[in-house]
Amino acid sequence: MAPDSATDFAIRAATAADHDALKMVCLKTGNSGDDATAMEDDPDLVGLIYAVPYQVLAPDFSFIVEDGEGVCGYVLGTPDTAAFEARLEAEWFPPLRQRLGDPGPDSSSWAGSDWARRFIHHPRYADLAELARYPAAGHIDLLERARGRGVGRRAMNLLMERLAETGATGMHLDVGTTNVGAQKFYETLGFVAVARRDRRDDRIYMVRGLP
């Protein structure tokens, strides 16, 4: 039987034992909330970019959502985006670059997970000058069975409470312009869209202050 409400889900700290689950959820939601499995030739890479490094580098702000069937989502964040991205560049991406080739800048020749391999070699970091008032970052991904049950709000509120406890003044999210469902969800939590993430892609920043 599918869970009926937020109370049917547990939210707990993510651990190193959850890395495979983090990669699974990231892949299953990697196409603007839909399953990206058919799009990727390396199913691990999307999670190695967007999910697992949070558990490794910011474990105090990484949480798993689970129900009776197992892991069905996560919420991840960091109170200091600049410091987090500096560690990505110094610690996280170099070992991946050693084993993954750079497919080059011509996206017309990319196939499968080449976009991810290119990103690992040439990551696009946040425009921190634009986001000076919102230094914390976070995101949430839930499998279909966990959506619309209230657990997403619970998980985001937990993350925002933990981030606020560090003294972070505000938080930003990176959202696809076509992911209208996610944008509406974040709006219910007090986030507002402020700008496109950069001129090369179809993503926007959403921000809110933290208490």
Both tokens of residue 118? Answer: 């290119």
pLDDT band at 128 (very low <50, low <70, confident <90, very high): confident
Q: What homologous superfamily does CATH list for 6-170?
A: Gcn5-related N-acetyltransferase (GNAT) (3.40.630.30)
Query: 0.75 exceeded by the pTM?
Result: yes
Provide the residue ranges of all domains of the chain, joining segments of one domain with +.
Answer: 6-170
pLDDT band at 179 (very low <50, low <70, confident <90, very high): confident
pLDDT value for 1: 40
